[in-house]
């Protein structure tokens, strides 16, 4: 899969999100801003679920590029200790099993599983199901 956008995650195995560390304050953000105040900083691959929602309707197109046959997904804010909070899709977990504070690990997911050439998006999954 090719990335949905360049510079979001490393090519390492396993991949890591690329945040930005402010050169003056040390503050970490995601994604890394494209200016001289920030330098790329690989983020922690594990964190905890800070908040979440279930996306139950197809977003407007554009910018959404997913399948016309929409299926709901979980979207979470994941707290990466000592770094930042990132927004990403939550995968490999039933909606009813989501719980604030649950440990999560970074992974990649397909924006559209049925696409001929799926695009990789940042996602998190429960630590106990991560391989």
- The tens digit of pLDDT for each residue in 43-85 reads 999 999 999 999 988 777 766 666 677 789 999 999 999 999 9
Are the CB atoms for 18 and 10 separated by under 8 Å?
yes
On the question of pLDDT at 90 being above 80, the answer is: yes
Q: Could you tell me what percent of the chain has a pLDDT over 90? A: 60
Mean pLDDT calculated for residue range 28-47: 95
Q: What is the pLDDT of residue 41?
A: 96
Q: How many Cα atoms within 13 Å fall on the side-chain side of residue 73? A: 22
Mean pLDDT calculated for residue range 89-113: 94
């Amino acid at each position: 899969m090719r990335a949905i956008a360049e510079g979001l995650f490393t090519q390492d195995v396993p991949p890591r999100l690329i945040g930005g560390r402010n050169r003056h304050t040390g503050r970490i953000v995601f994604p890394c801003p494209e200016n001289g105040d920030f330098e790329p900083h690989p983020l922690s691959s594990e964190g905890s679920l800070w908040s979440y929602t279930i996306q139950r309707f197809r977003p407007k197109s554009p910018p959404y590029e997913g399948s016309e046959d929409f299926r709901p997904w979980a979207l979470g804010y994941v707290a990466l200790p000592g770094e930042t909070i990132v927004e990403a899709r939550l995968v490999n977990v039933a909606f009813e099993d989501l719980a604030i504070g649950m440990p999560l690990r970074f992974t990649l997911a397909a924006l559209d599983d049925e696409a001929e050439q799926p695009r990789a998006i940042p996602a998190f999954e429960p630590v106990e199901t991560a391989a």
